[in-house]
Amino acid sequence: MTERQSRPRIPASWHPADPEREGLWIFTRLRDFIDDIANTSPARLALTAFAAVCLVFTFLLMMPFSSADGTATPIHQAMFTAVSAVCVTGLTVVSTAAHWSFVGQLVILVGIFVGGLGTLTLASLLALMVSKKLGVRGKLIAQEAMNNAGRLGEVGTLLRIVIATSVVIEGTLALALIPRFMILGEPFWQAVWHGVFYSISSFNNAGFTPHSDGIVPYETDLWILIPLMLGVFLGSLGFPVVMVLQQNGLNWKKWNLHTKLTIQVSFILLGAGAVLWGLMEWDNVRTIGPMDLGDKITHSLFASVMTRSGGFNLVEQNHMESTTMLLSDALMFAGGGSASTAGGIKVTTIAVMFLAIVAEARGDADVKVYGRTIPQGAMRVAISVIVAGATLVSVSAFLLLHISGASLDRVLFETISAFATVGLSTNLSAELPPSGVYVLTALMFAGRVGTVTLAAGLALRQRSQLYHYPEERPIIG
């Protein structure tokens, strides 16, 4: 008996005559529907799961109990905030501290935690909860999301490890932050709330803050800034990398290729971003110009970490030099590691394309690194992700230029920040009419699920081909 035949299916036309059995009938129909999607189109299941989660949190944020003044929040503001939270972006159209009640902020925080698990993880969990199993193709998708960490039958264990890892890291960060908020004069429970909020927001690269003025008051407080940077950096590495580090520590020889490329490129972007950001803003009197050497270094390092998806800021983004804004655009578009809480096109995508360019310049037939050959399929996926990301940013920027009439540098900055789920803002989001808010909402959703789902789908889609056309090389370049 096959897996598909092992469980009886109820015909769609059948409906229980007994009202008491109606709930069981609805659940069974839902189970069969999710089971079909998980086995035939896991990418569609990922999109469905993430969209459903966004709608649930939109509904909760629209309720009067979620706002500080007890009134219902307009749907475009509630949806934007919900998608920003679930997609771990951090862009806001209303003040998180002033507009939302404690319940509203708690809803946002839960949305950040759930969204930080990732589209494929959520889809897998949904299939496990409702269908009690993933199916072979669903397991392949989940295993691909974890970079083949473990055997096919261990996917459920891997998902539990992902959730446990998130909770442990976020708990550790909270324990580091809570004493500092208490020392600064906050009551115990308020310090606990702020410590938990910042820990979840930082590890999930969300950038939401429960303070009306953000973290600017703590711009010289290393006790707060260092945990935030560590949380964002760990979250940007991705669960597959964190799991390899848990198993093998700092033993470079035991790391797989994905871990080596992710950590190496992440540190290169971190160092280069800090140096370039510091040099460009060194004499800017509106940002770090008046500061001493130590504070300038701190701000530069902090900006480099946060620009690649963290979303916390110590300086006003509109006060930066134009060259710094362009640098920030590039770092935001690059993003963090695959299967991480960060966004962007991912650092391994950049690594694969750079290695392909080097191999072409040298005349090598294969793309090789660290004793491994990168398959042609991986390079096709990397090209697809880059082109898809650039297309989304270009189309959205065009629409926002037409809607807002703002300058290109502000529009491009906000657009890339939304696509890469960073959360840094020139305050354009709060100035947009509802039509512009919906454009950014769709872009945040597409940026979080689009390229990841595309990459996973392309990586697993292998059609058998019984023939091969003659090769002919067109002129390129």
**Distance from C-alpha of 134 to C-alpha of 120, rounded to nearest angstrom:** 12
When the pLDDT of each residue in the chain is averaged and rounded to a whole number, the result is 83
pLDDT tens string 285-320: 999 999 999 999 999 999 999 998 888 999 999 999
Q: Could you state, in order of their start, the residue ranges of all structural domains in the chain?
A: 20-460
What CA–CA distance (Å, rounded) separates 287 from 320?
A: 7
CA–CA distance, 417 with 323 (Å, rounded to integer): 16
Mean pLDDT within 180-184: 95
Q: Which residue has the higher pLDDT, 20 or 53?
A: 53
pLDDT at 201: 94
Per-residue pLDDT at 250 exceeds 60? yes
Q: Which of 146-150, 184-188, 250-254 shows the lowest per-residue confidence on average (mean pLDDT)?
A: 146-150
DSSP 342-403: --SS-HHHHHHHHHHHHHHHHT-SSEEETTEEE-HHHHHHHHHHHHHHHHHHHHHHHHHHHH
How do residues 430-447 score in pLDDT, each as one tens digit? 999 999 999 999 999 988
Looking at residue 161, what is its pLDDT?
73
pLDDT at residue 165 above 90? no
Asked whether the predicted pLDDT for residue 429 surpasses 90, the reply is: yes
Residue 257 has pLDDT above 80, yes or no: yes
- Can you list the positions of beta strands (E) in 107-226? none
In whole angstroms, what is the distance from residue 429 CA to residue 441 CA?
10
Express as a percent the part of the chain with pLDDT over 90.
55
Does residue 348 have a pLDDT over 50?
yes
Check residue 52 and give its pLDDT.
84
Neighbours of 209 (CB within 10 A): 23
Distance, in Å, from the CA atom of 271 to the CA atom of 260, rounded to the nearest integer, reads: 17
Task: Look at 309 and 76; give whichever has higher pLDDT.
Answer: 76
pLDDT at 316: 92
Identity of the highest mean pLDDT range in 195-199, 306-310, 470-474: 195-199
What is the pLDDT at residue 131? 45
pLDDT at position 386 is 92
